[in-house]
Amino acid sequence: MNRDARRAPGAIGLRIDGARLLARLRELGRRGALEGGGVCRLALTDADREGRDLVTGWMRELGLEVRIDAIGNVVGTRAGTEAGAPVMMGSHIDTVRTGGLYDGNLGVLAGLEVVETLAAAGIRTRRPLAVAFFTNEEGARFAPDMMGSLVFQGDLPLEAALATRGIDGATVGGELERIGYAGAAPVGAAVNPVHAYVELHVEQGPVLELEGVAIGAVEGVQGISWTEFTVTGTSNHAGTTPTRLRHDAGFLAGSVIRFARELALELGGDQVATVGFLELGPNLVNVIPNHARFTVDLRNTDAETLREAEARLFTFVDELAAAEGVRVGRRTLARFEPVAFAPEMVARVERIAAALGHSVRRLPSGAGHDAQILARMCPAGMIFVPSAGGISHNIREHTEPGDLEAGANVLLHTVLELAGLPSQSF
């Protein structure tokens, strides 16, 4: 039976089932499970297919209308009492090679928990509710990251995304067909209107835990610049070739690793720089490398500082390449400007968290999220819960059950407010 919030204090006192949420997180974690408690569920692998099958099965069990689009995004929708664009919850279920149980998965499964909680209470929102998981958010197998939400929103052409070749040589389109998730639903903001988007996520950093704060109201997401460099030098004998006569691809790569750290420290503030991938060839103990391929990940909340970091990195690489007598090629893997979330969404999360009795603070996100892409088509916001030790992208990733429950309850009441109840407008 539908309830009006002004006549139904049960809606105000409504809470999710934390044990049920945790059970689903652990069950999903068995797909692609690693020894030690982690998960390897790279996008569009067999493990990802198993995770997708599990989550779409739960969506159907909850009575959601499931749509799979041409890039493999999955959206489950619960009808409202009125037609129109839905209030969407979601995130992703693909992981990095050494992922944990919560990154991305929490936002999707907490969305399902919100739907189940409302169904059990007999509450039907005025606007439809949707729960989504987007393809290849991590970018660990296919670049760029946030691929599915970029195509869903319309900023990345579907054909280009499908043709993308991964680190193992497979293409996105081929793998979608292989695992059975090349859907028929169209992509693009014009055919996928969203009233508002809310994403619950683990912080993936240390701030909330260090300050003893339960909920983060996320103000925005750092800008991200991923660049791949390929260096061609000359192989030669490691013992007989004088240092002054070398054309050492490995020397350039190693120098960039040090430069990236020094650059981040010099620029200070929110600037970070990481060389996360490195390969050398011929990769022999007594041969000077004639090949190096590596990536540099630059991030900053300030757009101008991020551009400065990129310019200084590129200048350093070009000058060192000329001095060492090696050739360098580079290509952009991903590039996103910093994103500020709608002020009213940030304030709403902050207010609801406080009303539920939780400590709360505003903070930026250092990681990229689908929410920053959805923010281009609708008001978007994020809710953070603490990460134990600030650890993520690691099999030891952990968030306390009480924190998971607190975040899901903030999500519940945020979407209730956004979606409205019959005869009440928010």
Q: Does residue 183 sit in helix, strand or coil?
A: coil
Average pLDDT over the chain reads: 95
pLDDT band of 270, cuts 50, 70, 90? confident
Instruction: Check the annotation: does 318 bind a ligand.
Output: no
- In b/e form, how buried is each residue of 369-395, taking b as 16+ CB within 10 angstroms? bbbbbbbebbbbbbbbbbbeeebbbbb
How many angstroms from the chain centroid is the CA of residue 421? 30
Instruction: Check the annotation: does 199 bind a ligand.
Output: no
Cβ contacts of residue 207 below 8 Å, gap of 6+? 213, 216, 363, 390
User: What is 18-222+338-419's CATH topology?
Assistant: Aminopeptidase (3.40.630)
DSSP state of 83: -
State mean pLDDT over 395-412: 98
What are the helix (H) ranges across 268-377?
303-324, 343-355, 370-374
pLDDT of 34 over the 50 cut: yes
Query: What residue spans in the chain does CATH classification 3.40.630.10 cover?
Result: 18-222+338-419
State mean pLDDT over 274-290: 97
pLDDT at residue number 9: 37
Which amino acid is located at 17 in the chain? Answer: D
Cβ contacts of residue 11 below 8 Å, gap of 6+? 3, 5, 121, 123, 416, 421
pLDDT band of 6, cuts 50, 70, 90? very low
Helices (H) and strands (E) in the chain, counts: 13, 14
pLDDT at residue number 423: 46
- How confident is the model over 160-190, as pLDDT tens digits? 999 999 999 999 999 999 999 999 999 999 9
- How confident is the model over 329-374, as pLDDT tens digits? 999 998 999 999 999 999 999 999 999 999 999 999 989 999 999 9
The two tokens of residue 49 are 């297919």
Q: ∠ CA(143), CA(333), CA(34), 5° rounding?
A: 40
- Dist. CA 326–CA 82, nearest whole Å: 64
Residue by residue, DSSP assigns 278-307 as EEEES--TTB--SEEEEEEEEEESSHHHHH
Q: ∠ CA(364), CA(367), CA(368), 5° rounding?
A: 105
pLDDT at residue number 12: 74
pLDDT of 7 over the 80 cut: no
Report the percentage of the chain scoring pLDDT > 70: 96
Cβ contacts of residue 22 below 8 Å, gap of 6+? 401, 404
State mean pLDDT over 123-149: 96
- End-to-end C-alpha distance for the chain, whole angstroms: 20
Instruction: Check the annotation: does 175 bind a ligand.
Output: no
State mean pLDDT over 105-124: 97
Instruction: Check the annotation: does 369 bind a ligand.
Output: no
For tokens 């009480």, name the residue: 402
User: Which H/E stretch holds residue 129?
Assistant: strand 129-133
Does domain 223-336 match CATH 3.30.70.360?
yes
Pairing relationship of beta strands 215-221 and 360-365 according to DSSP bridges: parallel
- Dist. CA 228–CA 226, nearest whole Å: 7
pLDDT at residue number 1: 29
Instruction: Check the annotation: does 393 bind a ligand.
Output: yes
Strand partners, 272: 299
State mean pLDDT over 415-424: 82
pLDDT at residue number 422: 67
State mean pLDDT over 80-92: 97
Name the pTM for this structure: 0.87
- How confident is the model over 237-248, as pLDDT tens digits? 999 999 999 999
The two tokens of residue 424 are 């009440």
Query: What residue spans in the chain does CATH classification 3.30.70.360 cover?
Result: 223-336
Q: At what angle do helices 46-61 and 172-179 cross, to 10 degrees?
A: 60
